[in-house]
Structure 1
């Protein structure tokens, strides 16, 4: 009897995804972005709704301080509720960025109209979503939005289960769960 060997699946990469206030203000847009995440086989590791103060926004975007759009961006990001996700996928950072589309909405609408920004973006600031631009940025940004999230613990205990396929989407919690994380195979 011959054993069939499967190539090991690649380790999942994490990224931060933010649904900005302009998209959260419209429930159908928020739902469409969420469905885009699910339909593209991202695993939702964590999800939370939040509202930022201007100080939170200034701190997060401090690298853009002094640029012409900085104050407008700070004001906008503190203008209403947002939804933050930690997403997992084999190539989470570049894949999420490709789904978002170009930062500039005019460009997105003309070159990538099916992207999130092409479909729902209003302006270059009100462009519906944010995503980490590198693995290093993802680590830093996840720590800002999910300070209690321990990447090392996740990679040791949750990631192997998620990668193996022992997972289900919990719509009530809006995350994917693994066995022993509050559900059983019978649920």
Structure 2
């Protein structure tokens, strides 16, 4: 049974050092897309050394967004958040690498752009919290959940970078 499960997921997960590498979900929000920031944002993560294993340009449905932001349902800003996130296309991606969730959060910056350090994505590009350019998973558990909402398993591509050996011992 274990071998069956492993073979089912062989095309989904690549292995670094005998372990399944960490993955994070990142989405450039409609304001970031409109401002042509998809490329510069992706480039920051790739230059850091994280590997892109999935991406898509999508108009998210209300149902997808309600599932994604379910923890905020019932809060005063929920409907406005769903409306904003469905107001235009989103560039959704999955990044892979050691410590990718925490490092992406650091690279993205604080939720409130005015609290973000310069040289973070929000510190450099965002002005107000309601239009803060990008979403990044806040934990490995959230990342796995968000990835499963936005991507099917066959959309996650396992591949080995020619320079991967330079990033990890």
> Secondary structure of 1:38's match?
helix
CA positional deviation for 1:55 = 2.8
Secondary structure of the 2:130 match is: coil
Q: What's the CA shift for 1:165?
A: 3.0
8 Å CA contact 2:30, 2:87 repeated in 1: yes
**What TM-score do the two structures reach when normalised by structure 2?**
0.79
Asked if 1:124 corresponds to 2:129, the answer is yes
Equivalent positions of 1:103-182 (< 5 A) are 103-108=111-116, 112-149=117-154, 158=158, 161-162=160-161, 165=164
Is 1:72–1:125's contact at 8 Å kept on the other side of the alignment? Answer: no
> Which blocks of at least 5 consecutive residues in structure 2 are unaligned?
1-15
Aligned match of 2:103: 95
Is residue 2:58 matched to residue 1:17?
no
* TM superposition shift of 1:10: 7.6
Which of these residues, 30, 44, 47, is aligned with residue 36 of structure 1?
Answer: 44
Bigger Cα Rg: 1
Instruction: Indicate yes or no: 2:79 matched with 1:79.
Output: no
Unaligned runs of at least 5 residues, structure 1: 1-7, 167-187
Question: What is the rounded CA distance, in whole Å, between the counterparts of 1:165 and 1:34 in structure 2?
Answer: 17
In structure 1, how many angstroms separate the alpha carbons of the residues matched to 2:84 and 2:59?
Answer: 11
How far has the Cα of 1:163 moved from its partner? 9.2
Offset at residue 37 of structure 1 (A): 1.4
Q: CA RMSD in A?
A: 2.3
